[in-house]
Protein backbone atom coordinates (compact mmCIF):
# COMPACT_ATOMS: atom_id res chain seq x y z
CA UNK A 1 0.00 0.00 0.00
CA UNK A 2 1.47 3.37 -0.98
CA UNK A 3 2.41 6.15 1.44
CA UNK A 4 -0.46 8.40 0.35
CA UNK A 5 -2.99 5.70 1.20
CA UNK A 6 -1.37 5.05 4.57
CA UNK A 7 -1.54 8.75 5.40
CA UNK A 8 -5.20 8.84 4.36
CA UNK A 9 -5.86 5.88 6.62
CA UNK A 10 -4.34 7.59 9.64
CA UNK A 11 -6.51 10.62 8.99
CA UNK A 12 -9.70 8.58 8.95
CA UNK A 13 -8.90 6.03 11.62
CA UNK A 14 -8.85 6.74 15.37
CA UNK A 15 -6.80 4.59 17.71
CA UNK A 16 -8.43 3.02 20.72
CA UNK A 17 -8.73 4.90 24.01
CA UNK A 18 -11.79 6.83 25.10
CA UNK A 19 -12.13 10.56 24.47
CA UNK A 20 -15.11 12.89 24.50
CA UNK A 21 -14.51 13.40 20.77
CA UNK A 22 -15.20 9.74 19.92
CA UNK A 23 -18.23 9.15 17.73
CA UNK A 24 -20.46 6.56 19.36
CA UNK A 25 -23.58 4.62 18.44
CA UNK A 26 -26.39 4.94 20.98
CA UNK A 27 -29.07 3.04 19.05
CA UNK A 28 -28.99 0.49 16.23
CA UNK A 29 -32.15 -1.18 14.96
CA UNK A 30 -33.51 -2.88 11.90
CA UNK A 31 -36.71 -4.18 10.44
CA UNK A 32 -37.03 -7.91 9.95
CA UNK A 33 -35.33 -9.03 6.74
CA UNK A 34 -37.83 -10.81 4.53
CA UNK A 35 -37.80 -12.62 1.20
CA UNK A 36 -38.25 -10.43 -1.85
CA UNK A 37 -41.49 -10.91 -3.81
CA UNK A 38 -42.97 -13.38 -1.33
CA UNK A 39 -41.93 -12.37 2.18
CA UNK A 40 -43.69 -10.30 4.79
CA UNK A 41 -42.44 -6.93 3.51
CA UNK A 42 -43.00 -7.51 -0.20
CA UNK A 43 -45.83 -4.94 -0.35
CA UNK A 44 -44.22 -2.38 1.96
CA UNK A 45 -43.04 0.84 0.35
CA UNK A 46 -39.46 2.01 0.81
CA UNK A 47 -40.54 5.25 2.48
CA UNK A 48 -42.56 3.32 5.06
CA UNK A 49 -39.54 1.15 5.91
CA UNK A 50 -37.28 4.18 6.24
CA UNK A 51 -39.83 5.99 8.41
CA UNK A 52 -40.07 2.95 10.69
CA UNK A 53 -36.35 2.78 11.49
CA UNK A 54 -35.53 6.50 11.70
CA UNK A 55 -38.44 7.03 14.08
CA UNK A 56 -37.42 3.89 15.92
CA UNK A 57 -33.99 5.15 16.93
CA UNK A 58 -35.55 8.35 18.28
CA UNK A 59 -38.16 6.42 20.24
CA UNK A 60 -35.44 4.24 21.79
CA UNK A 61 -33.34 7.19 22.94
CA UNK A 62 -35.75 10.06 23.48
CA UNK A 63 -33.69 12.30 21.18
CA UNK A 64 -35.85 14.98 19.55
CA UNK A 65 -36.22 14.81 15.78
CA UNK A 66 -35.18 18.45 15.49
CA UNK A 67 -31.81 17.70 17.11
CA UNK A 68 -30.69 15.56 14.17
CA UNK A 69 -28.12 17.28 11.97
CA UNK A 70 -28.46 14.96 8.98
CA UNK A 71 -29.88 11.63 7.88
CA UNK A 72 -27.85 9.49 5.47
CA UNK A 73 -29.39 6.33 4.02
CA UNK A 74 -27.61 3.75 1.89
CA UNK A 75 -29.52 2.44 -1.12
CA UNK A 76 -28.45 0.62 -4.26
CA UNK A 77 -31.30 -0.35 -6.55
CA UNK A 78 -33.85 2.40 -6.06
CA UNK A 79 -33.73 5.11 -8.71
CA UNK A 80 -31.38 7.78 -7.33
CA UNK A 81 -33.67 10.77 -7.45
CA UNK A 82 -36.76 8.77 -6.51
CA UNK A 83 -35.09 7.06 -3.55
CA UNK A 84 -33.79 10.42 -2.32
CA UNK A 85 -37.34 11.76 -2.50
CA UNK A 86 -38.70 8.68 -0.73
CA UNK A 87 -36.26 9.19 2.13
CA UNK A 88 -37.32 12.84 2.41
CA UNK A 89 -40.97 11.76 2.43
CA UNK A 90 -40.17 9.17 5.09
CA UNK A 91 -38.84 11.91 7.36
CA UNK A 92 -42.21 13.62 7.39
CA UNK A 93 -44.01 10.32 8.02
CA UNK A 94 -41.68 9.88 11.00
CA UNK A 95 -42.37 13.34 12.42
CA UNK A 96 -39.14 15.12 11.51
CA UNK A 97 -39.28 18.89 10.99
CA UNK A 98 -38.56 20.29 7.55
CA UNK A 99 -35.22 21.75 8.70
CA UNK A 100 -33.60 18.31 9.02
CA UNK A 101 -31.83 17.32 5.77
CA UNK A 102 -31.41 13.88 4.23
CA UNK A 103 -29.35 12.29 1.49
CA UNK A 104 -28.76 8.88 -0.07
CA UNK A 105 -25.38 7.20 -0.58
CA UNK A 106 -24.59 4.30 -2.92
CA UNK A 107 -21.44 2.22 -2.61
CA UNK A 108 -23.17 -0.95 -3.72
CA UNK A 109 -23.34 -3.65 -1.03
CA UNK A 110 -21.52 -1.50 1.54
CA UNK A 111 -23.93 1.44 1.22
CA UNK A 112 -25.38 1.06 4.71
CA UNK A 113 -21.90 0.91 6.24
CA UNK A 114 -20.74 3.78 4.06
CA UNK A 115 -23.66 5.87 5.36
CA UNK A 116 -22.46 5.24 8.92
CA UNK A 117 -18.88 6.16 8.00
CA UNK A 118 -20.12 9.36 6.32
CA UNK A 119 -22.07 10.46 9.39
CA UNK A 120 -19.08 9.67 11.62
CA UNK A 121 -16.85 11.82 9.40
CA UNK A 122 -19.32 14.71 9.46
CA UNK A 123 -19.65 14.62 13.24
CA UNK A 124 -15.87 14.50 13.64
CA UNK A 125 -15.60 17.47 11.28
CA UNK A 126 -18.01 19.50 13.36
CA UNK A 127 -20.74 19.82 10.74
CA UNK A 128 -23.33 18.69 13.29
CA UNK A 129 -23.53 16.94 16.66
CA UNK A 130 -26.01 14.12 16.07
CA UNK A 131 -26.81 12.13 12.93
CA UNK A 132 -28.76 9.11 11.73
CA UNK A 133 -27.24 6.63 9.29
CA UNK A 134 -28.77 3.52 7.84
CA UNK A 135 -29.84 1.69 4.74
CA UNK A 136 -32.87 0.60 2.76
CA UNK A 137 -33.62 -1.86 -0.02
CA UNK A 138 -36.89 -3.10 -1.43
CA UNK A 139 -35.76 -5.76 -3.85
CA UNK A 140 -39.39 -6.72 -4.38
CA UNK A 141 -39.97 -3.36 -6.03
CA UNK A 142 -36.50 -2.64 -7.41
CA UNK A 143 -34.97 -5.70 -9.10
CA UNK A 144 -31.35 -5.73 -10.18
CA UNK A 145 -31.08 -4.44 -13.75
CA UNK A 146 -28.88 -2.37 -16.06
CA UNK A 147 -30.62 0.71 -17.45
CA UNK A 148 -29.81 1.82 -20.97
CA UNK A 149 -27.06 0.62 -23.30
CA UNK A 150 -23.47 -0.33 -22.53
CA UNK A 151 -20.61 1.79 -23.82
CA UNK A 152 -18.83 -0.18 -26.59
CA UNK A 153 -15.48 1.12 -25.27
CA UNK A 154 -15.73 -1.52 -22.58
CA UNK A 155 -14.48 -4.13 -25.05
CA UNK A 156 -11.04 -2.46 -24.84
CA UNK A 157 -10.76 -2.67 -21.04
CA UNK A 158 -10.57 -6.04 -19.30
CA UNK A 159 -10.98 -4.61 -15.79
CA UNK A 160 -13.98 -2.59 -16.91
CA UNK A 161 -15.56 -5.72 -18.36
CA UNK A 162 -15.25 -7.33 -14.93
CA UNK A 163 -17.57 -4.67 -13.53
CA UNK A 164 -20.40 -6.08 -15.64
CA UNK A 165 -19.96 -9.72 -14.72
CA UNK A 166 -23.01 -11.23 -13.02
CA UNK A 167 -22.23 -11.51 -9.32
CA UNK A 168 -22.74 -15.27 -9.48
CA UNK A 169 -19.93 -15.60 -12.00
CA UNK A 170 -17.59 -13.61 -9.77
CA UNK A 171 -18.43 -16.15 -7.07
CA UNK A 172 -17.49 -18.94 -9.44
CA UNK A 173 -14.23 -17.15 -10.22
CA UNK A 174 -13.35 -16.95 -6.51
CA UNK A 175 -14.17 -20.62 -5.98
CA UNK A 176 -12.06 -21.74 -8.93
CA UNK A 177 -9.12 -19.39 -8.42
CA UNK A 178 -8.76 -20.09 -4.70
CA UNK A 179 -9.91 -23.69 -4.55
CA UNK A 180 -13.10 -23.35 -2.52
CA UNK A 181 -14.97 -26.61 -3.00
CA UNK A 182 -18.70 -27.11 -3.45
CA UNK A 183 -18.77 -29.10 -0.21
CA UNK A 184 -17.15 -26.25 1.74
CA UNK A 185 -19.67 -23.80 0.33
CA UNK A 186 -22.66 -26.00 1.11
CA UNK A 187 -21.44 -26.68 4.64
CA UNK A 188 -21.02 -22.95 5.21
CA UNK A 189 -24.57 -22.34 3.96
CA UNK A 190 -26.15 -25.01 6.14
CA UNK A 191 -24.38 -23.61 9.19
CA UNK A 192 -25.61 -20.10 8.36
CA UNK A 193 -29.22 -21.32 8.37
CA UNK A 194 -28.74 -23.33 11.57
CA UNK A 195 -27.26 -20.33 13.40
CA UNK A 196 -30.00 -17.98 12.19
CA UNK A 197 -32.74 -20.39 13.25
CA UNK A 198 -31.13 -20.83 16.66
CA UNK A 199 -30.74 -17.06 17.09
CA UNK A 200 -34.38 -16.47 16.19
CA UNK A 201 -35.74 -19.19 18.43
CA UNK A 202 -33.70 -17.98 21.42
CA UNK A 203 -34.63 -14.30 20.92
CA UNK A 204 -31.13 -13.27 19.99
CA UNK A 205 -32.42 -10.68 17.49
CA UNK A 206 -35.15 -9.22 19.70
CA UNK A 207 -33.17 -6.15 20.78
CA UNK A 208 -32.34 -5.12 17.23
CA UNK A 209 -35.61 -5.82 15.39
CA UNK A 210 -38.43 -3.29 15.28
CA UNK A 211 -41.78 -4.76 14.18
CA UNK A 212 -43.31 -3.35 11.00
CA UNK A 213 -47.07 -2.78 10.80
CA UNK A 214 -47.87 -3.10 7.14
CA UNK A 215 -50.05 -4.67 4.47
CA UNK A 216 -49.76 -7.98 2.65
CA UNK A 217 -51.44 -8.68 -0.68
CA UNK A 218 -52.28 -12.25 -1.59
CA UNK A 219 -50.94 -12.81 -5.11
CA UNK A 220 -53.63 -15.30 -6.02
CA UNK A 221 -56.75 -13.57 -4.71
CA UNK A 222 -55.61 -9.94 -4.55
CA UNK A 223 -56.89 -9.82 -0.97
CA UNK A 224 -55.13 -7.22 1.16
CA UNK A 225 -54.77 -7.65 4.88
CA UNK A 226 -52.95 -5.85 7.68
CA UNK A 227 -50.08 -7.73 9.30
CA UNK A 228 -47.26 -7.18 11.77
CA UNK A 229 -43.87 -8.44 10.59
CA UNK A 230 -41.67 -9.12 13.59
CA UNK A 231 -39.24 -11.84 12.49
CA UNK A 232 -36.88 -12.59 9.62
CA UNK A 233 -38.38 -15.14 7.25
CA UNK A 234 -35.48 -16.29 5.08
CA UNK A 235 -33.89 -18.98 7.22
CA UNK A 236 -34.90 -22.63 6.85
CA UNK A 237 -35.17 -24.79 9.93
CA UNK A 238 -33.66 -28.25 9.66
CA UNK A 239 -31.95 -27.58 6.35
CA UNK A 240 -29.66 -30.52 5.63
CA UNK A 241 -26.39 -30.70 3.78
CA UNK A 242 -27.86 -33.49 1.67
CA UNK A 243 -30.65 -31.22 0.44
CA UNK A 244 -28.34 -28.33 -0.37
CA UNK A 245 -25.96 -30.62 -2.26
CA UNK A 246 -28.78 -31.66 -4.61
CA UNK A 247 -29.22 -28.12 -5.96
CA UNK A 248 -27.93 -27.40 -9.44
CA UNK A 249 -25.40 -24.64 -10.16
CA UNK A 250 -27.20 -21.37 -10.84
CA UNK A 251 -24.68 -19.49 -13.00
CA UNK A 252 -22.28 -21.97 -14.57
CA UNK A 253 -23.42 -25.53 -15.38
CA UNK A 254 -20.00 -26.79 -14.33
CA UNK A 255 -19.76 -24.46 -11.34
CA UNK A 256 -20.43 -24.67 -7.61
CA UNK A 257 -22.54 -21.59 -6.77
CA UNK A 258 -26.20 -22.47 -6.24
CA UNK A 259 -29.32 -20.86 -4.86
CA UNK A 260 -28.53 -22.69 -1.63
CA UNK A 261 -25.06 -21.26 -1.02
CA UNK A 262 -25.70 -17.69 -2.18
CA UNK A 263 -27.39 -14.79 -0.40
CA UNK A 264 -31.12 -14.28 -0.76
CA UNK A 265 -32.67 -11.20 -2.38
CA UNK A 266 -34.59 -9.46 0.36
CA UNK A 267 -36.41 -6.41 1.68
CA UNK A 268 -35.50 -4.44 4.78
CA UNK A 269 -34.18 -1.29 6.42
CA UNK A 270 -31.90 -0.41 9.33
CA UNK A 271 -30.75 2.72 11.14
CA UNK A 272 -28.21 3.84 13.72
CA UNK A 273 -28.11 6.99 15.87
CA UNK A 274 -24.64 8.51 16.26
CA UNK A 275 -23.17 11.38 18.28
CA UNK A 276 -19.99 12.41 20.07
CA UNK A 277 -19.29 10.67 23.36
CA UNK A 278 -19.57 14.01 25.16
CA UNK A 279 -23.09 14.43 23.78
CA UNK A 280 -24.11 10.93 24.81
CA UNK A 281 -22.78 11.55 28.32
CA UNK A 282 -24.60 14.86 28.56
CA UNK A 283 -27.86 13.17 27.60
CA UNK A 284 -27.27 10.15 29.81
CA UNK A 285 -27.57 7.73 26.89
CA UNK A 286 -26.05 4.23 27.04
CA UNK A 287 -23.38 3.62 24.41
CA UNK A 288 -23.64 0.52 22.24
CA UNK A 289 -20.26 1.01 20.61
CA UNK A 290 -17.57 3.40 19.43
CA UNK A 291 -16.73 3.71 15.73
CA UNK A 292 -12.96 3.17 15.51
CA UNK A 293 -11.97 2.89 11.85
CA UNK A 294 -13.21 2.41 8.32
CA UNK A 295 -11.57 1.10 5.19
CA UNK A 296 -12.80 0.82 1.60
CA UNK A 297 -10.37 -0.70 -0.91
CA UNK A 298 -10.69 -1.71 -4.55
CA UNK A 299 -9.97 -5.21 -5.85
CA UNK A 300 -10.18 -7.01 -9.21
CA UNK A 301 -13.87 -6.77 -10.25
CA UNK A 302 -13.87 -10.33 -11.60
CA UNK A 303 -13.17 -11.66 -8.08
CA UNK A 304 -14.96 -8.90 -6.18
CA UNK A 305 -15.83 -11.34 -3.39
CA UNK A 306 -12.31 -11.18 -1.93
CA UNK A 307 -13.01 -7.63 -0.72
CA UNK A 308 -13.28 -8.47 3.01
CA UNK A 309 -9.91 -10.24 2.95
CA UNK A 310 -8.33 -6.95 1.84
CA UNK A 311 -10.42 -4.40 3.74
CA UNK A 312 -10.45 -6.10 7.15
CA UNK A 313 -6.66 -6.05 7.71
CA UNK A 314 -6.55 -2.37 6.74
CA UNK A 315 -9.37 -1.41 9.11
CA UNK A 316 -7.72 -3.37 11.94
CA UNK A 317 -4.40 -1.66 11.28
CA UNK A 318 -6.02 1.76 11.24
CA UNK A 319 -7.59 1.03 14.64
CA UNK A 320 -4.19 0.12 16.08
CA UNK A 321 -5.21 -3.50 16.65
CA UNK A 322 -4.33 -7.05 15.65
CA UNK A 323 -6.69 -9.61 14.12
CA UNK A 324 -6.43 -11.58 17.36
CA UNK A 325 -7.97 -8.61 19.21
CA UNK A 326 -11.27 -8.95 17.34
CA UNK A 327 -13.93 -10.87 19.22
CA UNK A 328 -16.71 -10.95 16.61
CA UNK A 329 -16.97 -10.56 12.84
CA UNK A 330 -20.07 -9.78 10.79
CA UNK A 331 -18.95 -10.58 7.25
CA UNK A 332 -21.67 -10.35 4.63
CA UNK A 333 -22.34 -13.71 3.01
CA UNK A 334 -22.87 -12.54 -0.55
CA UNK A 335 -21.77 -16.04 -1.54
CA UNK A 336 -20.43 -18.92 0.51
CA UNK A 337 -17.43 -19.08 -1.84
CA UNK A 338 -16.20 -15.59 -1.05
CA UNK A 339 -17.10 -15.68 2.65
CA UNK A 340 -15.27 -19.01 3.04
CA UNK A 341 -12.25 -17.71 1.14
CA UNK A 342 -12.08 -14.50 3.19
CA UNK A 343 -12.22 -16.39 6.48
CA UNK A 344 -9.57 -18.86 5.37
CA UNK A 345 -7.30 -16.14 3.98
CA UNK A 346 -7.43 -14.20 7.25
CA UNK A 347 -7.19 -17.32 9.42
CA UNK A 348 -10.41 -16.48 11.26
CA UNK A 349 -12.01 -18.69 13.88
CA UNK A 350 -15.42 -19.49 12.39
CA UNK A 351 -16.88 -19.51 15.90
CA UNK A 352 -16.38 -15.73 15.85
CA UNK A 353 -17.87 -15.15 12.38
CA UNK A 354 -21.59 -14.52 11.81
CA UNK A 355 -22.49 -16.25 15.05
CA UNK A 356 -26.19 -15.65 14.40
CA UNK A 357 -26.10 -16.58 10.74
CA UNK A 358 -25.60 -14.32 7.75
CA UNK A 359 -27.03 -13.26 4.42
CA UNK A 360 -27.34 -16.80 3.08
CA UNK A 361 -29.99 -17.42 5.73
CA UNK A 362 -31.20 -13.93 6.60
CA UNK A 363 -31.00 -12.25 3.19
CA UNK A 364 -29.03 -9.41 1.62
CA UNK A 365 -31.13 -6.27 1.00
CA UNK A 366 -28.19 -4.51 -0.64
CA UNK A 367 -28.34 -0.96 0.67
CA UNK A 368 -29.49 -2.08 4.10
CA UNK A 369 -26.91 -4.79 4.74
CA UNK A 370 -24.09 -2.69 6.20
CA UNK A 371 -26.41 -1.06 8.73
CA UNK A 372 -28.13 -4.39 9.46
CA UNK A 373 -24.80 -6.06 10.15
CA UNK A 374 -23.81 -3.18 12.42
CA UNK A 375 -26.97 -3.53 14.49
CA UNK A 376 -26.52 -7.29 14.74
CA UNK A 377 -22.85 -6.95 15.69
CA UNK A 378 -23.33 -4.29 18.37
CA UNK A 379 -26.17 -6.07 20.13
CA UNK A 380 -24.32 -9.38 20.07
CA UNK A 381 -21.18 -7.71 21.43
CA UNK A 382 -23.27 -6.34 24.29
CA UNK A 383 -24.72 -9.76 25.09
CA UNK A 384 -21.31 -11.43 25.06
CA UNK A 385 -19.32 -8.65 26.70
CA UNK A 386 -17.09 -8.46 23.60
CA UNK A 387 -14.68 -5.57 23.22
CA UNK A 388 -13.95 -5.34 19.49
CA UNK A 389 -15.99 -6.27 16.46
CA UNK A 390 -15.87 -5.83 12.70
CA UNK A 391 -18.46 -5.40 9.95
CA UNK A 392 -17.23 -6.16 6.43
CA UNK A 393 -18.48 -7.02 2.97
CA UNK A 394 -17.45 -7.42 -0.63
CA UNK A 395 -18.78 -4.82 -3.06
CA UNK A 396 -20.08 -5.23 -6.58
CA UNK A 397 -17.70 -3.85 -9.26
CA UNK A 398 -14.71 -4.86 -7.16
CA UNK A 399 -14.21 -3.41 -3.67
CA UNK A 400 -14.26 -4.36 -0.03
CA UNK A 401 -15.22 -2.36 3.03
CA UNK A 402 -14.74 -2.88 6.75
CA UNK A 403 -15.29 -0.98 9.99
CA UNK A 404 -14.04 -1.63 13.51
CA UNK A 405 -16.29 -1.01 16.50
CA UNK A 406 -15.33 -0.99 20.17
CA UNK A 407 -17.74 -1.75 22.97
CA UNK A 408 -17.59 0.17 26.23
Whether the Cβ atoms of residue 293 and residue 315 lie closer than 8 Å to each other? yes
52 is catalytic: no
Q: Are 76 and 106 in contact (CB under 8 A)?
A: yes
**How far is Cα 266 from Cα 270, in angstroms, rounded to an integer?**
13
The separation between CA 400 and the C-alpha centre of its own chain, rounded to angstroms, equals: 12
Candidate list 14, 52, 87, 109, residue with the active-site label: 109
Backbone angles phi and psi of 318, in degrees to 5: -65, -30
Q: How far apart are CA 217 and CA 226, in angstroms?
A: 9
Q: From the candidates 14, 193, 364, 379, which is the catalytic residue?
A: 364
Number of CB atoms found within 10 A of residue 158's CB: 11
Distances (CA, A) of 170 to 119, 184, 185: 31, 17, 14
* Separation between Cα atoms, residue 339 and residue 268, nearest integer Å: 22
Q: Distance between CA atoms of 55 and 60, rounded to whole angstroms?
A: 9
Of the residues 87, 368, 373, 394, which is catalytic? 394
CA neighbours closer than 13 Å in the CB half-sphere of residue 296: 18
Question: Any idea which residues carry the catalytic annotation?
Answer: 109, 364, 394
Amino acid sequence: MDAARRRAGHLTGHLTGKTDEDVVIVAAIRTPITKARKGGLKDTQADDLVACVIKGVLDKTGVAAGDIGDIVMGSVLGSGSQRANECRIAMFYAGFPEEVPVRVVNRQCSSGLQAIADVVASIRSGYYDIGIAGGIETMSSNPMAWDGSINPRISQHEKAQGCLLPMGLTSENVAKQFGVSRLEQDQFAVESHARAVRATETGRFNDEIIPVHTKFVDKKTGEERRIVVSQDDGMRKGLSLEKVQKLKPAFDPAGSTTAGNASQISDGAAATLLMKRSEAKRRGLPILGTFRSFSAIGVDPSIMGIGPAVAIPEAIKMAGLQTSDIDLFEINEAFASQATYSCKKLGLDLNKVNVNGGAIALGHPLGCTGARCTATLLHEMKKRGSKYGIVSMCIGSGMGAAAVFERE
